[in-house]
């Protein structure tokens, strides 16, 4: 498995994963996804296996109250690649990008029903900050997790797994 930053040539495969992972109304539109991965205040990481995308992750950052704060927009892994550490490596990549941009904190919403994602975030040091009822369509709740970056944190990407 190779991990790298997104390039425009990845968009078709990236969006195919979006379509496989999420159904409307949870799915990002093509237009929004293009804006997101092309933003100067965002980074998208790709997991690639033999020339095919296995997953991707997107993080955005913005200044809030004098500090740069990062928000994980999405981490998506194709079904056949789940349970192999792909999500963890993508998370490490977007964390590295957020830290390189100067973020002091990274946070996210995750479906309260997504046990696998919750385990991933907890294993990587994210702490539960709260719960937001009806965050997702059809009345589904989101849990809010966050992790502060410590100056002693060392986040590095491994090119091969």
Residue 58 belongs to what H/E stretch?
strand 52-64
In this structure, how many other beta carbons lie within 10 angstroms of the beta carbon of residue 121? 22
Q: Coil, helix or strand for 72? A: strand
- Contact present, 91 and 124 (Cβ < 8 Å): yes
Mean pLDDT by 10 residues, the chain (161 residues): 96 95 86 95 96 96 93 96 95 96 96 94 96 89 94 45 39
CATH of domain 2-148: 3.40.630.30
pLDDT at 155: 45
- Contact present, 161 and 85 (Cβ < 8 Å): yes
pLDDT at 69: 97
pLDDT at 47: 98
Q: Which residues, in sequence order, are CB contacts of 107 under 8 Å at separation 6+?
A: 69, 70, 71, 72, 129, 144, 145, 146, 147
């Amino acid at each position: 498995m190779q991990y790298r930053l997104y390039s425009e040539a990845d968009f078709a495969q990236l969006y195919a994963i979006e379509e496989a992972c999420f159904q409307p109304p949870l799915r990002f539109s093509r237009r929004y996804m293009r804006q997101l991965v092309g933003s100067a205040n965002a980074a998208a990481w790709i997991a690639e296996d033999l020339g095919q995308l296995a997953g991707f992750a997107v993080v955005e950052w913005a200044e809030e109250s004098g500090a740069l704060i990062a928000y994980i927009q999405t981490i998506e892994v194709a079904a056949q690649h789940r349970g192999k550490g792909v999500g963890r490596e993508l998370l490490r990549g977007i964390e590295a990008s957020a830290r390189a941009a100067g973020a002091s904190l990274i946070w996210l919403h995750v479906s309260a029903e997504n046990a696998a994602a919750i385990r991933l975030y907890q294993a990587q040091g994210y702490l539960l900050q709260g719960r937001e009822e009806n965050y997702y369509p059809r009345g589904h709740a989101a849990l809010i997790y966050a992790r502060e970056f410590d100056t002693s944190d060392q986040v590095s990407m491994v090119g091969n797994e």
